[in-house]
Amino acid sequence: MPLLGGVRPPIAALLCALLAVAAFTALGLGTVHEQDVPQALRDAERQIAEDAADSVGTSINARATAVRRAAASDAPAGSSAPVALLRSLHPTGHPAGGGVLLDPRTRRPLAASGETVPLTGVDVAALVRPDTANIAPRLVLSGRGEPRLLLFARVAVPAPGAKQQDENHDQAGDLRGGQGAEERELLLVVSEKVVAPAVYGDGRTGHLVDRNGKVLATAATTGTALAPRTDHRALPAAAANAANAGLHTGDVSGSVLGEGLKGLRRVTGWASVAAADGKDDTSGLGLTVLTVRDVPPAKEGADHTWFALVAAGALVVIAVLVTLVLWGSMQRTLLRLHLSAARLARAVAEIPGDREELARPVPVGAFGEPARVGRALESIRRQLLGETGPEPVRPVRRRPGVRALVLVCVLVIAAWGMPLLFLLNRVPAAKAVPAAAVADQQARTEAAADRVRRSLGRSCTDLAAAASALSGASRERATEALRREHADHPTFRSLYVLDRTGAIVLRVGKQPLRTLDHAPAGDGITQVNTSGTIPAIAAYAQIPAARKARNAKDAVPAGAVVVAEIGVNALNSLVARQGLGSVWLTDERHRVLAASVGFQAFQPLPHRGLTRLVARTEAAPGSVGSPASAVLHAGTAPGGGPSVAAAAPLAQKGPVAGLGWRVVSAEPAAALKLAAYQLQARTMLAGLLALSVGVACLSWLHIVVVRPLRAVTGWAERLAGGDRRTVLYPVHHDECGSVTRSLELLRQALVERDRGGGRAYVASVPAPSFQSGGPPQQ
């Protein structure tokens, strides 16, 4: 008998597969344990630290870039005194600090403003070497021991004559020389206070620590004590060490679970400020952001071991019962038919020692097709002995056969798998999702809104600086300035200048999607269109009137406005964050402007639950509103399952405060690492596996056994009823094929007997080749 054919392999495979599913059920469900602080909260704290670190790094990079751009602009050309030059170079809107203008050759300060800039340990000559690129910021300590961030930029000025140069060093005189003088480089150093990371969520504290674990700045939300607990004094240093080591391994964030105190557990997330590739301005600072929050431990949940053992035991019983039923009603009877048919075939072949086997009756089964085949074989045996003639098959009532038996086995397995797949271990989302996880979703949504606000605010600030540079400039110089601005801001899709009539007089970049109808006054952000295929969002800044233009005809017209069209892809990348789910940026009518997932411009939010949640963030006219969060139930949440959703206004102040924009997020609750959803997922997987292996193995049994057996039944009954003309061709090399081959030999024997004039059995049929106890060979 071949090993991969017949009735035995599907039944054996079904038994082994069901036992394997039972083992998975016992181990998979039994190892799910309720934790006092779910892994979802620890992962959320790590992601919150990542958001804060990204905000800190982006802010430092933006300030360093602003200092370099101010030094590279044409602003110094209008000033000759060192003090005036320094005043024009110092960027506005930076944290309080100081600035100094140095001569790298003499290392002497030419001008200073604000607090004293700490330059201890700073090699000025090495910083301005010609082979060095942009000078990276440095972290130093002031004279009072306070941390300061130093930002550097090279300033190119015309070199004065020798006599004038001595006067400048001695008397801080004019830096500018006559026409045609060669340029020399000065070094601008700006000192800033280290700003604490922005954190959101009640009860959360944010710390910025250096590579040695020293806390540089701390920020706290409402109701949070700034003083760290004594059992976590070593935590900043440990997180700093992990961040420094992670720069080489790629692991730049993590979370730590502290000991319980006063009924609370402290969860700490840490993230390195430096980018993993080390290509930004913060790569050498060694800064790490820590976010700390005390959460109440979850109530002790039920142990699922007993459920796992009961479910696995029930499946083992079902597997054994199904196997025994299939073995007794199909495998055993089919093998017996195969042996009986082979015995009759050997007898009619006049094999010595087997001719007397024709006198032994054929055992007849008691169920379905095997019983019908047995009765047909018994009738054929009696016809060969001359005891009776052809016996037409009497019509009988339809009774369940092997096909019904296979269907019953499928239903029995489904009775175990369907409840696990659809009913058992289902927990309402309101109970399964802890309140701390909902608060974390809201905190991260607020951070996403702040990230968009900061980006748009920087766009307005930089555009205002560019507008000042365009004042009184010729069209050629203005076009070059716009090109530099466009190259420095990948978020700007297009830059153009509108005159008072709303006509474009200068443009760089792509063709605007839709231009402003008129030149607005002042500075700000506006939504240009409210319909169409692509949202058009623009920042604008008024070009100040020039006191005196060199060439009035060729200069930028007075009252013009410079407009920067912000690409939607830039906004999409701003709202997208790992672990935050689907995020949308909506306008005041709750229509989508940008999203982390696919969307159509100005479409409504995908579900009513989200729209109602956004409506909760609205407040009285003239106010911005407050963030909101909730657990959306199935049918009202994205994906059809429960989701944790949050919405936050974009800004309470600044150029985008009056737009009424919102950031909305929704994360499927099943994606959170909560024990209830892990148990539900594994329970569903166990039920799905049981159904899959049951249907697969029983379908295999139906294809290789049930269908051929039903065909053999029809052939045997027609042969017993007198059909001698139908030649039987064995197709399968298994038990059914063996019975079919034996029936063909019996048919030939009956034909020879009929030709012999109705004598009892006379035949000279060639003996077929049989293996002992096996089916005939093809």
Residue ranges of domains in the chain: 60-159+183-193, 197-295, 306-424+698-758, 450-572, 578-674
Mean pLDDT score of the chain, rounded to an integer? Answer: 82
The HSE-up count of residue 23 (CA atoms within 13 Å, CB side) is 6
pLDDT at 232: 46
Q: Which CATH class is domain 578-674?
A: alpha beta
Q: What is the CATH number of domain 197-295?
A: 3.30.450
Cα-Cα end-to-end distance for the chain: 12
> Residue 256: is its pLDDT beyond 70?
yes
Reported confidence tier of residue 763, pLDDT bands at 50, 70, 90: very low
The percentage of the chain sitting over the pLDDT mark of 90, rounded to a whole number, equals: 31
Residues 505-529: tens digit of each pLDDT: 899 999 888 888 777 888 889 999 8
Of the listed ranges 171-175, 204-208, 318-322, 453-457, the least confidently predicted one is: 171-175
pLDDT at 121: 77
Q: Which of these, 662, 669, 626, lies nearest to 644 by C-alpha position?
A: 669
> Residue 24: is its pLDDT beyond 90?
yes
For residue 257, CA distances in Å to 41, 126, 254 come to 10, 44, 10
Residues 435-470: tens digit of each pLDDT: 999 999 999 999 999 999 999 988 998 898 888 888
Distance, CA of 276 to CA of 369 (rounded, Å): 70
pLDDT at 51: 94
**Residues whose CB falls within 8 Å of the CB of residue 30, separated by 6 or more in sequence, listed in order:** 304, 305, 308, 309
Residues 486-498: tens digit of each pLDDT: 888 888 999 999 8
pLDDT at 396: 56
Q: Do domains 60-159+183-193 and 450-572 have the same CATH topology?
A: yes
> Residue 768: is its pLDDT beyond 50?
no
pLDDT at 429: 73
Reported confidence tier of residue 637, pLDDT bands at 50, 70, 90: low
Residues 546-585: tens digit of each pLDDT: 766 555 666 778 778 999 999 999 999 999 999 999 999 9
**Residues whose CB falls within 8 Å of the CB of residue 698, separated by 6 or more in sequence, listed in order:** 10, 14, 406, 409, 410
Ordered alpha helix ranges (H), 31-73:
39-72
Region class of 647: left (phi > 0), else alpha (psi between -120 and 50), else beta: beta
Of the listed ranges 117-126, 174-183, 293-302, 383-392, the least confidently predicted one is: 174-183
Residues 130-159: tens digit of each pLDDT: 666 688 888 888 878 888 899 988 888 776
Q: b vs e for 592-630, b when ≥16 Cβ sit within 10 Å of the residue's Cβ?
A: bbbbbeebebbeebbbebbbbbbeebbeeeeebbebbbb
Distance, CA of 44 to CA of 734 (rounded, Å): 59
Q: b vs e for 495-524, b when ≥16 Cβ sit within 10 Å of the residue's Cβ?
A: bbbbbeeeeeebbbbeebbebbeebbeebb
Residues 80-109: tens digit of each pLDDT: 577 878 877 776 656 667 888 888 888 888
Reported confidence tier of residue 351, pLDDT bands at 50, 70, 90: low
Q: Which CATH superfamily is domain 450-572 in?
A: PAS domain (3.30.450.20)
Of the listed ranges 32-46, 253-267, 586-600, the least confidently predicted one is: 253-267
Q: Which CATH class is domain 60-159+183-193?
A: alpha beta
> Residue 606: is its pLDDT beyond 50?
yes
Long-range contacts of 769-775 (CB under 8 A, 24+ apart): 770/342, 770/345, 770/346, 773/339, 774/1, 774/738, 775/1, 775/338, 775/342, 775/733, 775/734, 775/735, 775/737, 775/738, 775/741
> Residue 178: is its pLDDT beyond 60?
no
> Residue 230: is its pLDDT beyond 50?
no
